Each structure stands twice: as C-alpha cells, then as structure tokens.
Amino acid sequence: MGHLGLTPQSINKFGTYTVRAKEEAEAQKLIEDAKMLEEIGCFALVLEKIPATLAERVAAEVTIPVIGIGAGGGVDGQVLVMHDMLGITQNFSPKFLRRYADLQSIINEAVQQYIEDVKSGDFPNEKEQY
C-alpha cells in the first residue's frame, strides 16, 4: 500500500504537519508518484492531508483504491485514527479530525479511581483474590 501527501514518519524532512501538494509542482509530482506506485504493484494508495481536488484527481487517474485521511470525499474510502476519533489523544486536532467521543476523560477518571483504590487498600478486596 502506497502513502503520499503528508507522511508523518517523514516530519523531519518536511518540518511541519502542513497540507502537502498545494502548489502545482508538488501536486504534479504526487500524481506521478501515485501512477508509479500503481505501476510497481501497490494494491491501494493512502493520500494524507492533501487538497480534496487533488485527491479526487489522483483517484480518477489510477485504478487502485484510494483511501483518504484528510483528503476530502472524492476518494474510495476514509481513514480516521481510532485514538483520535475516540478522543483518547487530545493534543492533535487537524481540520479533518472529527471526534466521536471523549474517552480520554473516562480513561483518566478510571485510572485515578484505580490508583485511589490501590493506595487505600480497597483493591484488590477479598472477592478479587484467590
């Protein structure tokens, strides 16, 4: 599976998490790279944090499925990182992220209750021991 656009593993190269391929030269290179990835055998392609019009253009020019993450609705499928969509991570809020829950608060409360129960000697209680 190919991955173009923002590639978080290459953040040191780009220096920022900004939208990629906004300029025509980089957009053209991305299209060429997508075609090359298809040609060498990729079964699908992820396009991350690129303009929606460019993602739609790429999807029209390749025959393999194109999955978007912050790449608009004109692709074949969508990805949202589960920890982000469930609100487990809170310090990351790109425009494309829709949070469906706030599990970080629930997790924090549960962990805090566990710590208190261990410190007070309430956990484990007699029912929770062999």
The string of pLDDT tens digits covering residues 38-69 is 999 999 999 999 999 999 999 999 999 999 99
pLDDT of 90-110, one tens digit each?
887 888 999 999 999 999 999
| CB of 15 closer than 8 Å to CB of 56 | no
Which one is predicted more confidently, 6 or 103? 103
pTM for the model stands at: 0.79
- pLDDT for 64 equals 98
Q: Which residues pair with 68 in a beta bridge?
A: 47, 78
Give residue 20's pLDDT. 76
Helix (H) or strand (E) holding 58: helix 52-61
Q: Which residues are identified as catalytic?
A: 48
Domain residue spans in the chain?
1-79, 80-130
Cα gap 2→42, rounded to integer Å: 6
